[in-house]
Chain A
Amino acid sequence: MQRVGVFVCWCGSNIAGTVDVEAVSEALKSEPGVVFSTNYQYMCSQAGQDMIKQAVKEHNLTGIVVCSCSPRMHEATFRKTAAAAGLNPYMVEIANIREQCSWVHKDMLTGTEKAIILGKAAIAKVNLNAPLIPGESPVTKRALVIGGGIAGIQTALDIADAGFPVDIVEKKPTIGGKMAQLDKTFPTLDCAACILTPKMVDVAQNEKIRIFSYSEVTEVSGFVGNFEVTIKKNARYVKEDICTGCGACVEKCPMKRIPNEFNLGMDNRPAIYIPFAQAVPKVATIDPNACNMLKNGKCGVCSKVCAAGAIDYTQKDEYINEKYGAIVVATGFNPISMDKFDEFAYNQSKDVITSLEFERLTNAAGPSAGKLLRPSDGKHPHTIVFVQCVGSRCESCAEKGKEYCSKICCMYTAKHAMLTRDKYPDTEVYVFYIDVRTPGKNFDEFYRRAVEEYGVKYIKGMVGKVVPEGDKLKVQASDLIANKQLHIDADLVVLAAAIEPDKSARPLATMLTASMDTNDFFTEAHPKLRPVESPTAGVFLSGACQGPKDIPETVSQAGAAASKVIGLLAKDKLTGNPCVANSNELMCNGCSSCANVCPYGAITYEDKEFRMPDRTTKIRRVASVNPAVCQGCGACTVACPSGAMDLKGFANLQIMAEVDAICK
């Protein structure tokens, strides 16, 4: 039994106006364990807190019950008071007699009666409280960034800048991501490569950063501060440390007709390739599905021309195990497939392209060396129709589109339209839109410039169908303002395809026990207040894996994620929430029910040897909770049939004592 002190707060007249505080402190005096009971005007004031400290000393209190406002308000305050008085802070319980009593009941009699019952419940609970000490765990001072696009690059640079080592895992042969494929960037129109590639070089040259390109994460275990990760380095059949990236092999490779992923299949690359000139690492990679040597053992040209002797046809996938304190997910996005949008004739005509393909067509390093030419016949297009929201905001067609707004399309379409008119003033440019959404610094001005200065024809309405006819594309569309149906003979149709999270995100989320929404975007710990943290401690989110984002937003989120990681890695030890689940091994059946309901993967099993009453020993499978991972929800405690699993601070006996006190 504790020695409990009860402190009833008046909260001025907030409580005392409807609750007879004197009667409450008097009534609670005779409760079991209570050795001291008083009331005071403002318990949370310095004087009130001093009163508590004084009482702890004078009456040797081991438990404190404060009947006051909501624990969400001042529980932390009174815990500090208790700690200052030399008590364990978790020996404090609050009876909420303001928000849940004096403020909702008008009558003094009922208010007082209820306050007494709430006080009794808190006393019953505190009698069963035990001092709790938060667990501590060490922090591995190294971060893992999964994904090497602009989000991952920025996060890694920022973390490395703070002095912590960072590894980037990128599944493609080079970092750079989607941004490397872009031509210009809105709203300032600087060239993507000019601002991205210096950052890529920074990454390559930063001593704190290691790049695992052409690699993927295959296994994650552990918890915040202590993750253990297995990284699979796919065999690229080229020794990374020896290859100089001279490109002789690429030039000489006889297998030249492999669709070039970097240019979205609009031109070809050889079987051995470097995705683009500024690739980091600038190392060749052999495509095992295309290389004759790897497939049939015939060829070997690259090996012969390689002066450095970097080609190694016998290279195997390599598995690397590393420990990390924090993991940042930056897996990015992809445009959705246009295969199911028959109405736009994407699969029927080469001249119906996606916006990302348009980027490559206008990029100086692209398949047409930056000249805007029709993919079908290489002629200059005179009429171009841009269609927005293709597959975005698409509720009825879940099998082909996405319900959400892809956010970036309005701006890049304005950019494409503007650049086209700028470079080729003889071109007619139409943009069909449902809404133009341009919130963001200098964004709306940018869009208006496209209309007002560059004469892009923005038409409110959607394109209904595109029919290839001869060398033209017959576009049938609505003009809702003019209330007309338009028929346009276009040379090129550009579809602003919706974007979706990368396919690798879902299996990764499972490995990380990080949660996702129905669209496979990672869920943030709090949509407003913790936007770059995943609910799983130690896992952070950067860029479009969390939701559609443009570059400025991605970079700022990347920086925010980095600062969270730095904050974590700067600590030598992590202090946990002490109100966590714990399993009584003597009663645990090892049945796995608890682990099945744990959202954090905090429960693991081990075989333990037990001494039986008959002096024999028995090896049993029992659960153990990792207090650094457990967040204290208590789902496991109810899943456990034997009651072996309990929650500190909200134990079965404590809650039942409250129930009993209320019902008595």
Chain B
Amino acid sequence: MQKITREQLIQKASELLENGTVSAVLGWGIGEFDYDVTPTVFSTVEELRNGFVFNDFCGANFSKYLVKKTDKIEGKILVFLKPCDTYSFNQLLTEHRFDREKVYAVGIPCEGMADIAKVKAISGDGIAAIGSNGDKLTVTTLYADEPVVIAANDVLAERCINCKSKKHVAYDELMGEEGEVIESNRFDEVARLEAMTADERFAFWQNELSRCIRCNACRDACPACTCEKCVFDNPNSGVENKSPANEFEEKLFHIIRAYHVAGRCTDCGECSRVCPQNIPLHLLNRKFIKDMNDFYGEYQAGAEVGSRAPLVDYTTEDLEPGEVFDRRENNA
């Protein structure tokens, strides 16, 4: 269902490698399964031909990798950025996390990525191969005789259903056509939870967060979590904690993580994509985004380089913490 093909991307990458514009390519590499795509650095055209993939499971946001990879590579690195990735790209530039001069960014269009959990829910386990054909996915499993054909739209990832922008906010070169910022309904789920009673919300989150196994995948994939040393890994922080000893620590971890990225999170949805327990972690971030939009005016992290996040800014007329709740009750 992607409009751009693997071959086009390989051709572009090969061109740039061969003419010396870049010395490496950050792209999606073959993983163990078709849906298990691994971020990979390619240095030669041959490596690209052998290992580069582009399919409906290439959700990984490469912006974050630039923080570490730009140091390791002489010359420029080519990075492919989907529209949502470009916001993270800008946000990291705002925070001076990598050297823009060392990156050659190619914006690529995105038609939305598939959620493997949704695929599995239809096809069943034991997926051997997934093919793409127009707007259909053909899923071959070990247990079924016939491949299952699924409409790509039915298995679209949540973050793509609620895609906030098809527009690239940063690139050196754009492949395909430029899209628009989209009026999405991405805050609907947050609003639905807000409308619940505190007890219902507590039960909801208790159910969700208690599944957390503290694998740190959310943190490791998050393009806003690029700290040199995370407080949760730092024995001197006083809150070091590597495994959840009880349910409070999961909450502490996720609240603090969401707070640390508040105002910096671009709502790319990587946290929820990589969560092996399918916890809707993006809702925590969206809650912060929604609140800050409500309280302090619309703000989209990464929309431009150098913008000032709401939590490191203020006006003398800001609403009081206590008024937050009055306001909600009045709106309800």
A and B touch in the complex (CB under 8 A): yes
Chain A residues at the B interface, C-beta cutoff of 8 Å: 518, 586-593, 596-597, 605, 618, 620-621, 639, 641-644, 652-653, 656
| Contact across chains for A596 and B308 when beta carbons are under 8 A apart | yes
**Are A590 and B96 in contact, CB atoms less than 8 angstroms apart?**
yes
Q: Which residues of A contact B229 (CB under 8 A)?
A: 586-587, 642, 644
A592 touches which of B96, B228, B237, B238 (Cβ 8 Å): B96
B245 interface residue (CB < 8 Å to A): no
Q: Which of B71, B227, B311 contacts A642 (CB 8 A)?
A: B227
Which A-chain residue is minimally distant from B72 (CB atoms)?
A: A616
B266 to chain A, nearest CB (A): 14
Interface: B312 (CB within 8 A): yes
Q: Once the chains bind, are B238 and A656 in contact (CB under 8 Å)?
A: yes
Question: Are A587 and B96 in contact, with the CB atoms below 8 A?
Answer: no
16 pairs of residues in contact across A and B, judged by CB atoms under 8 Å: A518-B316, A589-B95, A589-B97, A589-B226, A589-B227, A591-B95, A591-B97, A592-B94, A596-B313, A639-B312, A642-B228, A642-B229, A642-B230, A643-B231, A643-B237, A656-B239
Q: Mark B288-328, 1 if CB is under 8 A from A, else 0.
A: 00000000000000000000110111001000000000000
A597:B228 contact, CB within 8 angstroms: no
Contact A587 B312 (CB under 8 A): no
In the complex, whether B234 has a CB less than 8 A from a CB of chain A is yes
Bound CA–CA A620/B70 (angstroms): 12
Contact B95 A592 (CB under 8 A): yes
Residues from chain A with Cβ under 8 Å of B230 in the complex: 642
Q: How large is the interface on B (under 10, 10 to 19, 20 to 34, 35 or more residues)?
A: 20 to 34
Knowing that A587-B227, A587-B234, A656-B238 touch, tell me 9 more A-B residue pairs with CB under 8 angstroms: A518-B316, A586-B229, A591-B97, A592-B94, A596-B312, A639-B312, A641-B227, A642-B230, A653-B236
A16-B237 Cα distance, complex, nearest whole Å: 39
B260 within 8 A of A: yes
Query: Using a CB-CB cutoff of 8 Å, which residues 205-240 of chain B contact chain A?
Result: 226-231, 234, 236-239
The contact of B71 among A590, A596, A618, A639, by CB within 8 Å, is A618
A643 to B239, CA, bound (A): 11
CB distance from B94 to the nearest CB of A (A): 8
**With A and B bound together, what is the CA distance between A652 and B236 in angstroms?**
10
Q: How far is the CA of A641 from the CA of B96 in the complex (A)?
A: 14
Q: Looking at the assembled complex, report how far the CB atom of B243 sits from the nearest CB atom of chain A, in whole angstroms.
A: 20
Partner of B260, one of A621, A641, A656: A641
Name the B residues within 8 Å of A652 (CB-CB).
Answer: 237-238
Instruction: State how many angstroms separate the Cβ of A371 from the closest Cβ of chain B.
Output: 50
Tell me, in angstroms, the Cα distance from A544 to B234 when the chains sit together: 52
Residues of B within 8 A of A518 (CB): 316
Residues of B in contact with A (beta carbons under 8 Å apart): 71, 94-97, 226-231, 234, 236-239, 260-261, 308-309, 311-313, 316
Q: Is the CB of A593 within 8 A of B312?
A: yes
Minimum CB–CB distance for B72 against chain A, Å: 8
A588 to B228 Cα, complex, angstroms: 7
List of B residues within 8 angstroms of A591 by Cβ? 95-97
Given contacts A642-B228, A643-B231, contact A597 B237 (CB under 8 A): no
In the bound complex, CA of A605 to CA of B234 (Å): 23
Q: How far is the CB of B127 from chain A (nearest CB, A)?
A: 37
> Does A653 lie within 8 Å of B311, measured CB to CB?
no
A589 to B95, CA, bound (A): 8
Beta-carbon contact of B96 and A621 below 8 Å: yes
Task: Report how far A643 CA is from B261 CA in the complex, Å.
Answer: 13
Contact A639 B237 (CB under 8 A): no
Partner of B231 from A592, A593, A642 at Cβ < 8 Å: A642
Cα A518 to Cα B94 in complex, Å, equals: 29
Q: What residues of chain A lie closer than 8 Å to B236, measured between beta carbons?
A: 653
Please give, as numbers and ranges, the residues of chain A lying within 8 Å of B234 by CB-CB distance: 587, 643
Residues of B within 8 A of A596 (CB): 308-309, 312-313
Bound complex: CA of A593 vs CA of B262, how far in Å? 12
Docked pose: A592 CA to B264 CA in angstroms: 12
A641–B222 CA distance with the chains assembled, in angstroms: 14
A643 to B230 alpha-carbon distance, docked (Å): 8
Please report the C-alpha to C-alpha distance between residue A1 and residue B260 in the assembled complex, in whole angstroms: 31
In the bound complex, residues from chain A placing their C-beta under 8 Å from that of B96 are 590-592, 605, 621
Determine the distance from Cα of A489 to Cα of B183 in the docked complex, in whole angstroms: 64
A578 to B316, CA, bound (A): 30
Q: How far is A590 from B96 in the complex, measured between Cα atoms in Å? A: 7
Chain A hits for B313, CB < 8 A: 596
What is the minimal beta-carbon distance from B227 to any residue of chain A, in angstroms? 4
Residue of B nearest to A657 (CB): B238
Most buried by A among B229, B234, B237, B312: B312
Chain B nearest Cβ from A654, distance in angstroms: 9
**Nearest opposing residue in chain A for B311, CB measure:** A639
Top-3 shortest CB links A-B: A591-B95, A642-B227, A596-B312
A609 to chain B, nearest CB (A): 12
Contacts of A590 in B (CB 8 A): 95-97
Least CB distance from B256 to A in Å reads 9
- How far is A639 from B311 in the complex, measured between Cα atoms in Å? 8
Kindly list chain A residues whose C-beta atoms are within 8 Å of the C-beta of B97.
589-591
Most chain A beta-carbon contacts within 10 A, residue among B71, B228, B230, B231: B228
B71 CB contacts on chain A under 8 angstroms: 618
- In the complex, the chain B residue whose C-beta lies closest to that of A622 is B228
For B227, list chain A residues within 8 Å (CB).
587, 589, 641-642
What is the minimal beta-carbon distance from B120 to any residue of chain A, in angstroms? 35
Bound Cα distance from A591 to B91, whole angstroms: 10
Kindly state the separation between the CA atoms of A642 and B232 in the bound complex, as whole angstroms.
9
Closest to B225 in A: A641
Instruction: Report which residue of A591, A621, A641 has the largest number of chain B beta carbons within 10 angstroms of its beta carbon.
Output: A641
State whether A653 and B238 are in contact (beta carbons under 8 Å apart), knowing that A592-B96, A593-B312, A621-B96 are contacts in the complex.
yes
